[in-house]
Structure 1
Amino acid sequence: MNNERKKHPHLQIINPSDTPTDTEYEVNQSAQVLVRKTQEVKTAEVAKPRWGIYLSIMKPITWVPVVWSFLCGAVGSGGLRLDLEILLKLLVGLILSGPLLCGMGQAINDYFDREVDAVNEPSRAIPSLRITLMETYRIIGCLGFLGLLSAYYLGTVVFFLSLAGIGLAHAYSAPPLRLKRFTWLGPLTSAVSYIAFPWLAAASIFGEINPRVLIIISIYSLGATGIMISNDFKSIVGDYALKLPSVPVVYGTRIAARITCALIDGAQLVVIGYLIFADHHFLAAGVVLLLMLPQLFYQKAFLEKPLAKAIWYNSHSQIFFVTGMLVVSVLAF
């Protein structure tokens, strides 16, 4: 353990004697729940057709925030109109953001996370051996090629943003960098990929990238870092077992929950302040403030039982956060 501490200081928290009691207790509870859930879904997973297995490693549910960010950037640019070429670019951009690049990133993550998934979700396609590594390579390659082809059609800025996104997807999951090994770099990298890159891409296609765009996406990317941290709660069993120092493992679930809420709420408050004092968009600021109120209700339950309520919190609360993003795009740009 001494060598591990010198190699990576965050790993010292993995020592059971150093680990917060609430984290150790909740990890044990979560492990029992995972065993039960795995048995419940295993039969349905095995019965999936081949295309369904391929789609499962691309995780369509994760496309939604990326596509939403692209839509926010497009709406905020002011360049959308009923024109065939504009609508075609919008469609290609949405497909590029979601199924192609986000889907590719999820496949890459599943490949390099197969050991963690074997603990957290053994019924997934790769750890359950329902898809081979060669098939995974082919999916990643095809999605990457189609993504770069689509990005080239949408313009130079989008092409280089796509290249950067592909690079970050590999750096996040793959050795030797594997940014998710580092407590804060992992969620920050994900937030930038999910919020900043698609928003910037849309702004470059339909309008321009100006300081106001950069300020807003930077603030929302910081808030999205909190969302990414809350997503790490569901993989805490595997992270704990394999000594991956995610924020919930390093700080404990209760402190990590407070960090999550502080980042999400803090970002929205900064956006509200910016809209009022810099842009004088009082209506947009007021709507974002109203959208924060239901989030506080869900956060109260999340803070009381972080591990048990993490998935519930994400599914119920984050819709108000992303709706605020669209409100700012519509009213303040």
Structure 2
Amino acid sequence: MGDMITTSEQQIPLAKRIRAHIELADPITWISPAMICICGALASGTATGFQWWNGAHWGLILLGALMTGPLGTGFSQSINDYYDREIDAINDPTRPIPAGLVSLNGARANWFFLGFATFLVSLIFKDAMITALAVFGIILSVLYSMPPIKFKKNYLLGPPAVGIGYVTVSWMVGHIIFAPITWQSITVAMINGGLTAGMLVLNDIKSVEGDRQHGLKSLAVAIGVQPALLVAYTIINLCEILFLVLAVMWGNYWVAAFIAFAVIAPIYSQIKLYNDASHKNFMRYLIATNPFVALIQIVSAFLVGGYFG
């Protein structure tokens, strides 16, 4: 496909162009990986890892959050918008590329800058594992979005790729900045990645029509909306139950009780969404679930870091 933008970027006011380039990197998506990177730092523990009273440590973790959030995740979103421009023209025509606010050349420059900046920031830590994780995240983002591989086209590959790239990698980066990674931290990072994969299966439901037209085989396209909801619920609840089991095994019963409540609380909105997969019920479910998901991720970091005794 050629450059679908006929209006030159130079004809658009500078402030509007800057906003469009920021929007291309989708700032709302930066929050979760940046927060997860901080969770990984907390999981390193205060004895030999992250020390919340140490100003230099806060500088390092904010740099890690910058790398995994605005830069790394921004790269992922920008390159995804570039390769999904035809789908966005149907599902979300207000996005910067289909709206004509960013040309294809401008979009390529956007994601190249963000990817290169991610790599450069990783070098500041002077740790080969952090740089390797940053490069792995960049490659995973490319494979997720770029044809012909395009993990996003396959429901067996797309959600796990996002869970690993956004969450597992970000968590491990945060931990490794301050201390060698532990098996407990890797386990929790993987479960959190699975939780995110389940949320992505759920999220794909809202774009099922555009995905179907352009051959993106999301789970909702492959098996239908209601069966896909059941799969998403199962993945999300199973990951939360695994956290509950870990909390019990590690003797933190009040954490286990909180996670049990987090599993039970959204059940009503799950049923409502299953019976009527409308946008209103979808948003209600997200409102009921997302705060618990975020709290579980934070609590799991404190659990691994030994903050609960």
Equivalent positions of 1:147-296 (< 5 A) are 147-154=118-125, 155-277=127-249, 279-296=250-267
2:265 is paired with a residue whose SS is helix
Confirm whether residue 65 of structure 1 aligns to residue 32 of structure 2.
yes
Counterpart residue type for residue 130 of structure 1: L
1:280 is paired with a residue whose SS is coil
Q: Distance in 2 between matches of 1:77 and 1:261?
A: 30
Counterpart residue type for residue 50 of structure 2: L
TM-score (norm 1): 0.82
Q: Deviations over 1:119-171 (max 9, x none)?
A: 11112111122111111111112111211111111222111101000000000
Displacement over 4 Å in runs of 4+: none
| Displacement after TM superposition at 1:48 (Å) | 7.2
Counterpart residue type for residue 86 of structure 2: E
Q: What corresponds to 2:6 in structure 1?
A: none
Q: What corresponds to 1:29 in structure 2?
A: none
Maintained 8 Å contact 1:233/1:307: no
Confirm whether residue 305 of structure 1 aligns to residue 276 of structure 2.
yes
Q: Distance in 1 between matches of 2:15 and 2:239?
A: 40
| Displacement after TM superposition at 1:332 (Å) | 4.1
Give the % identical residues: 26
Q: What corresponds to 1:318 in structure 2?
A: 290
Give unpaired runs (5+ residues) of structure 2: 1-12
Q: What corresponds to 1:115 in structure 2?
A: 86
Q: Deviations over 1:87-109 (max 9, x none)?
A: 21111011111100101100000
Q: Distance in 1 between matches of 2:128 and 2:259?
A: 33
Counterpart residue type for residue 44 of structure 2: S
Q: Deviations over 1:187-219 (max 9, x none)?
A: 110111121000011111122211111211222
Q: Distance in 2 between matches of 1:114 and 1:90?
A: 34
Counterpart residue type for residue 50 of structure 1: R
Q: Distance in 1 between matches of 2:284 and 2:106?
A: 33
Q: Distance in 1 between matches of 2:180 and 2:267?
A: 35
1:49 is paired with a residue whose SS is helix
Q: What corresponds to 1:331 in structure 2?
A: 303
Confirm whether residue 80 of structure 1 aligns to residue 50 of structure 2.
yes
Q: Deviations over 1:29-86 (max 9, x none)?
A: xxxxxxxxxxxxxxxxx99722111111111111111112111111111122222321
Q: Distance in 1 between matches of 2:73 and 2:289?
A: 22
Q: What corresponds to 2:5 in structure 1?
A: none
Q: 1:80 to 1:260 in 2, by over 3 A?
A: same
| Displacement after TM superposition at 1:331 (Å) | 3.2
Maintained 8 Å contact 1:80/1:206: yes
Q: What corresponds to 2:16 in structure 1?
A: 49
Q: 1:305 to 1:48 in 2, by over 3 A?
A: farther
Q: Deviations over 1:240-277 (max 9, x none)?
A: 11122101111111111111111101111111112213
Q: Distance in 1 between matches of 2:15 and 2:202?
A: 29
Q: What corresponds to 2:8 in structure 1?
A: none
Equivalent positions of 1:1-20 (< 5 A) are none
Task: Give the structure with the larger helix fraction.
Answer: 1
Answer with 290-299 or 144-153: which moved more.
290-299
2:115 is paired with a residue whose SS is helix
Q: What RMSD, in angstroms, separates the aligned Cα atoms of the two structures?
A: 1.9
